[in-house]
Every structure is written in structure tokens, then in C-alpha cells.
Amino acid sequence: MDLSFQIVYSRRKTVAMSVERDASVVVRAPEGMTEEKIHRLIEAKRFWLYQKTNHGQKYPLRQTRKEFVSGETILYLGRNYRLQITDKDVAGVGFQSRFEISRKNQPRAAELFKRWYLQQAEERIPPRAEYFGEALGVGFNRILISDLKVRWGSCTPKSNLNFNWRLMKAPTTVIDYVIVHELAHLIEPNHTRQFWNIVSIQIPRFNWAKQWLREHGDLLETDF
């Protein structure tokens, strides 16, 4: 059976394999490790990887598209807020205990909401990363908020942090968990006991946050 995978080299000491949300396989390997050795390790894990990549629907099936009509609810920071379509002239998306968009902008609602969430992420995530970075005693180069296809966040070998704007739909504890998870990789590259100890000190409810992402990840992924 064929099994395709991507190799990412970094200054780590061990090999780690993961199956991403889109069922793609990523192998993270130490710099200098030969592809021949990586292929041997992949071969040893082939059955496990095959099971993971063919597991089927990762999340339960739910409604995947919004209609953007009055009374519909939209998720923000873990809570559902009602949407009001108004004849007033609203610039983009209005929010104050409920969402509001102009009737004339209904055809562009998905675009406007994505732009709004991106703005919220750009305003909220960097200060939290600075806060937790100081608490952990680590620094990073820059933060990029984007439309990551397979992850909620990532940390590059050059100490850059990437976060998915869709995190703005999640509770604040979940957002903080993802931020701390990536910062902790600047201290410990692998998911060792030390790594989880680092995370737990900053986010005591990290297990709850992990479970929330497992159960509700589809709600974040919905493209309106």
C-alpha cells in the first residue's frame, strides 16, 4: 500500500511522525538524517500510519455552511452569538453582545467574517504569546496569523510562531493552550513528559483544552 509523507528537518534529536487533520503524514527528523533511514522508520510504522490515515471522519458530521440570516448563531471565543441582519449601514461586521451586518453586505458575509476573525486574532494572539513567552523565559522572532490547513498552530526551526485565525472561535483557555503548546516546543521539541509538565504549569486545564479541540474542531474548521 502506498503511503506518501512530508519530511521536515530541524535541530531536533529524535524522529517524530504525525497524521495531520487532512490525513497527511509529516515526519520531523534531525538535520543530517538520511532519507534511507527515515524510510526504514516509516516502514516500521506503516501499519499504524495506515490505520491513522484511513480512520475515516475525524469529527462528527454537522452543518458546514452558514446562511447568514437573522437569528442564526455564530461561534466566537467558545460562545454562540446571534446574527442580526440590519438595514443600517454597518462597516464590515459589528459586534456588541451580538453580530450585525448590513443587508447589502449579506452576499459578502463569509468574506467579511473571515476578515473580522483575522483582525481579532491579530489583536489578541500576539499579546498572549508575549505574556506566556515571558512566563516561560523564551523568545520568538515573529507571529504569523494565517489560514493553516492542517494545524491550529506551529513553531518553526527559526522560532517563528504560526497560528490559525479559526482559533478565535474557541474558548480563551483553548487559545492559550495552543499558544503555550507552541512556545513549549522552543524549550522541548518533543512531546515528552517534560514538555507536558511545561504546558501544565501555564495551562492547568490543558487536558480539557485538548479534549475540546478533539470534540469541536469541526466547528472551528467550518468556512462559514
Q: Sort 78 into a burial class: Cβ within 10 Å, 0-12 / 13-18 / 19+.
A: middle
Q: In this structure, what DSSP letter does residue 14 have?
A: S
In DSSP terms, 80 is beta-bridged to: 75
Q: Which of 49-58, 88-97, 124-133, 178-187 has the lowest mean pLDDT?
A: 49-58
In DSSP terms, 18 is beta-bridged to: 26
CA-based angle 147:149:153, to the nearest 5? 75
DSSP string, 88-123: S---S-EESSSEEEEGGGGGGHHHHHHHHHHHHHHH
At 21 the pLDDT is 61
- For 88-104, the pLDDT digits (tens) are 888 899 998 899 999 99
At 162 the pLDDT is 92
Q: How many whole angstroms from its chain centre is CA 99? A: 23
Arithmetic mean of pLDDT, 174-189: 93
At 43 the pLDDT is 79
User: What's the pLDDT band for 122 if we cut at 50, 70, 90?
Assistant: very high
At 57 the pLDDT is 47
At 63 the pLDDT is 46
Domains of the chain: 6-53 (no CATH), 73-221 (3.30.2010.10)
User: What's the pLDDT band for 220 if we cut at 50, 70, 90?
Assistant: confident
